[in-house]
Amino acid sequence: MKRFAQQGGHATILHGASDNIIPISMGREIATIGQDAATFIEVTDSGHNDIIARAEREITAALSLPQRRGG
């Protein structure tokens, strides 16, 4: 993620608050490493496999944000 940030990239990380496969702390850690290159969105009432179905509002909002350009 550090190299990604150095290249001017930006990632939006959506993570289910009830994810029992990948702990939410791991998603937060990745976002923290990326600093300004990552936006972390915690999706309440969502686990690992149902996040797409439950996060429509969050996904739509994230895709509506202006895209950052590297370089």
6-58 tens-digit pLDDT: 777 788 899 999 999 999 999 999 888 877 888 899 999 899 999 988 888 88
- pLDDT at residue 66 in the model: 67
pTM > 0.85: no
Q: Is the pLDDT of residue 4 over 90?
A: no
48-59 tens-digit pLDDT: 999 988 888 888
User: SS in 3 state form for the chain?
Assistant: CHHHHHCCCCEEEEEECCCCCCCHHHHHHHHHHHHHHEEEEEECCCCCCCHHHHCHHHHHHHHHCCCCCCC
